[in-house]
Amino acid sequence: MKRIRQPIIAVLGHVDHGKTTLLDKIRKTNVAGKEAGGITQHIGATEVPIDVVKQIAGPLLKLWKGEIKLPGLLFIDTPGHEAFTSLRARGGSLADLAILIVDINEGFQPQTIESIEILRRYKTPFIVAANKIDRIKGWKIQEWEPFLVNIKKQDQRAVQELETKLWELIGKFYEIGFQANRFDRVQDFTRELAIVPISAKYGIGVPELLVLIAGLSQKYLEQKLKIEVEGPARGTILEVREEPGLGTTIDVIIYDGTLHKDDTIVVGGKDKAIVTKIRALLKPKPLDEIRDPRFRFDQVDEVVAAAGVKIAAPNLEEALAGSPVIACRSEEEIEKAKQEILNQIKSVVISTDKVGVIVKADTLGSLEALSKELQEKNIPIRKADVGNISKTDVMEALSVKEEKPLYGVVLGFNVKVNEDAEEIAKAKGVPIFVGNIIYKIIEDYEAWVKAEEEKRKKELLAKTIFPGVIRLFPDERYVFRRSHPAIVGVEVLEGRIKPGYTLIKQNGQKVGTIKSIKSKNDFLQEAKKGEAVAIAIDGAIVGRHIHPGEILYVDLSRDDAIRLVKELRDMLDETDIKALKMIAKVKAREDPFWAAL
């Protein structure tokens, strides 16, 4: 029997922008003086039956022409982008639709941007709740009022301020490629992002938000929401939890089929598929019926998608948040499910001996999200795994560091760094980048790479000798001193010279070391092509080793040449290259290495 299930809805947005307040408000719908009861608490989710939506919405439902056939809406209780990334299903997101909440007074913040990136990556449709409109100066509050009714009561000034703030928000969306508009001005919901101004605290605009979610789901997601009710259940693990008296349990959102209390399930573990038989299906007891906190759950015989349920079963200790749950009714189905789950894990949890970064995350989904982002930036990954950052991770990064310093790092999303891992990382200089915003973790890493590269370049620059070719002036008048040290006037023909550089003759013979460079009365740290300067050369005697008019070359080592050509290439200009070629020609007589340069 086919039926349309409840769409699964996630709430995302920056910290303090009102995600929890909105969810709480939705949960308290029936306390709002309306008749509509029936909000049901699931495990990890809250269900708003369609009758409740209809009663709250009243005449607003006319916004949607066709009849709403959805049984209701299922809101995921844990808001935020971290939780969202663990809601994997079928390679995409478990959430059918999302609400992106933005504090209208604060606008875009880092986690707003991160949320949008994640929604975009998962191709999850969303609508925007522009929250805290009650904070606008002089705003008149009426609990649970539809926005379109509430706005009519506001004075001109407040309306104007709201419009300005909305325009700012619309502008921000435009900058990142979204056409957005206030929901009642949207012409085509497939092209424009709808913004509903709300006050989560007072419920203003929440009626429209619910109607819009129901209507959009009905209109655009009907095919996806049509499920075979009797079919075997499929779901995603939200959380793996230890429960007193129950052992390790998994909190699961079922998005397809029906789960029976005596089903066999296959779930994803760290590196394996776990096959286990359900011991109990549990739902939370209504709050007013919890007399003893040890008995917070009721057993049920079955759950029909979409629903949140706690599953108690043996062998769940190694189950992985974010991995699939597939109910099976035959050996054949079990085998198929095992294969499917293993393939999914293998595509995310990777372990290689490649030179690359170490990636850790709290769930399979967030690991996948972080890894994908790194791959898009062509940052190679050696290992990607779920869990806190351990000593082993740091040791592995250290071994990479020896080969490729810039990849010898650990990146972690929403994970802790174990104490011993932290210690060894500090001692061995292995950088760890952790956080709960994917793009920030990567930005921090990239900034570090850039700084390291610059540091390395500076070090290289400091120890690399640059090529230079000079000529002593032919006139004897420019021999200022013949020896100890010899001081002569020279012109730099190509490249550059610096104090400390050793000079050689055309035949490769060493002349001595430049002690100082002087122009008029100033000592210089460098003289470049075209400059005429006086140099003091330690170890040379004019008339014996060098003669007026002679051409001299800076002596380079093979290492200098390799660094110049390979790593400092962009620091060389045309004349440096000419000088390098001239020096190579001189040195090639003795060493074939230079001929090949």
Residue 379's CB: how many other CB atoms inside 10 A?
20
Which amino acid type is present at position 14? H
- Tokens 């079922």 belong to residue: 254
Residue from the set 34, 90, 120, 135 that interacts with ligand GDP by CB under 6 A: 135
Q: Is 15 annotated as a binding residue?
A: yes
**Residue 81 binds ligand GDP, judged by CB under 6 A:** no
* Complex with ligand GDP: residue 23 or 369, whichever CB lies closer: 23
Residue from the set 18, 44, 207, 269 that interacts with ligand GDP by CB under 6 A: 18
Q: Are 347 and 324 in contact (CB under 8 A)?
A: no
DSSP state of 546: B
| Interface segment toward ligand GDP; rule CB under 6 A; list 11-19, 162-170, 215-223, 542-550 | 11-19
Q: Are 78 and 20 in contact (CB under 8 A)?
A: no
**Residue 165 binds ligand GDP, judged by CB under 6 A:** no
Residue from the set 51, 134, 184, 567 that interacts with ligand GDP by CB under 6 A: 134
**Residue 21 binds ligand GDP, judged by CB under 6 A:** yes
Q: Are 542 and 482 in contact (CB under 8 A)?
A: yes
Binding mask 102-131 vs ligand GDP (x if CB under 6 A, - otherwise)?
-----------------------------x
Q: What is the DSSP pairing of strand 126-131 with strand 193-197?
A: parallel
Beta bridge partners of 283: 298
CB of 154 to ligand GDP, least distance (A): 15
Which amino acid type is present at position 260? H
Which amino acid type is present at position 316? L
CB of 11 to ligand GDP, least distance (A): 8
Residue of 243, 228, 229, 257 whose CA lies nearest to 337: 257
Q: Is 78 annotated as a binding residue?
A: yes
CB of 19 to ligand GDP, least distance (A): 3
| Interface segment toward ligand GDP; rule CB under 6 A; list 170-178, 198-206, 420-428, 544-552 | 198-206
Active-site entry in 42, 81, 260, 547: 81
**Residue 16 binds ligand GDP, judged by CB under 6 A:** yes
Active site residue 545: no
Residue from the set 20, 30, 276, 315 that interacts with ligand GDP by CB under 6 A: 20
* Complex with ligand GDP: residue 49 or 205, whichever CB lies closer: 205
Q: Is 14 annotated as a binding residue?
A: yes
Residue of 512, 509, 591 whose CA lies nearest to 557: 591
Residue from the set 6, 8, 19, 495 that interacts with ligand GDP by CB under 6 A: 19
| Interface segment toward ligand GDP; rule CB under 6 A; list 9-17, 265-273, 337-345, 577-585 | 9-17
Which amino acid type is present at position 325? V
CB of 139 to ligand GDP, least distance (A): 9
| Interface segment toward ligand GDP; rule CB under 6 A; list 132-140, 228-236, 309-317, 571-579 | 132-140
Q: Is the peptide bond before 312 cis (omega within 30 degrees of 0)?
A: no
Q: Are 167 and 178 in contact (CB under 8 A)?
A: no
Q: What region does 314 belong to: left with phi over 0, alpha with psi -120 to 50, or beta?
A: beta
Distance linking the first and last C-alpha atoms of the chain: 76
**Residue 218 binds ligand GDP, judged by CB under 6 A:** no
**Residue 15 binds ligand GDP, judged by CB under 6 A:** yes
CB of 26 to ligand GDP, least distance (A): 12
3-state secondary structure (DSSP) of residue 447: helix
Residue of 200, 190, 170, 172 whose CA lies nearest to 182: 170
What long-range pairs does 287-294 form, CB within 8 A, spacing at least 24? 287/41, 294/244, 294/245
Q: Is 444 annotated as a binding residue?
A: no
**Residue 142 binds ligand GDP, judged by CB under 6 A:** no
Residue of 127, 129, 53, 124 whose CA lies nearest to 95: 124
**Residue 132 binds ligand GDP, judged by CB under 6 A:** yes
Enumerate helices (H) and strands (E) in the chain, giving the number of each: 16, 36
Q: How far apart are CA 506 and CA 489, in angstroms?
A: 18
Q: Is 20 annotated as a binding residue?
A: yes
Residue from the set 4, 5, 10, 17 that interacts with ligand GDP by CB under 6 A: 17
* Complex with ligand GDP: residue 105 or 388, whichever CB lies closer: 105
Residue from the set 4, 9, 10, 13 that interacts with ligand GDP by CB under 6 A: 13
Query: How many chain residues bind ligand GDP (CB under 6 A)?
Result: 16
Q: Which two tokens stand for residue 301?
A: 């015989």
Residue from the set 86, 124, 199, 575 that interacts with ligand GDP by CB under 6 A: 199
| Interface segment toward ligand GDP; rule CB under 6 A; list 13-21, 163-171, 353-361, 479-487 | 13-21
Q: Is 81 annotated as a binding residue?
A: yes
Where would I find the beta strands (DSSP E) of 362-465?
381-386, 410-413, 432-435
**Residue 344 binds ligand GDP, judged by CB under 6 A:** no
Q: How many CA atoms lie within 13 A of 69 on its CB side?
A: 13
Residue of 396, 348, 353 whose CA lies nearest to 372: 348
Residue of 43, 57, 3, 597 whose CA lies nearest to 311: 43
Which residues contact ligand GDP (rule: CB under 6 A)? 13, 15-21, 79, 131-132, 134-135, 199-201
Q: Which residues are annotated as a binding site for GTP?
A: 13-20, 77-81, 131-134
Q: Which residues are annotated as a binding site?
A: 13-20, 77-81, 131-134
Task: Tell me which residues are annotated as active site.
Answer: 81
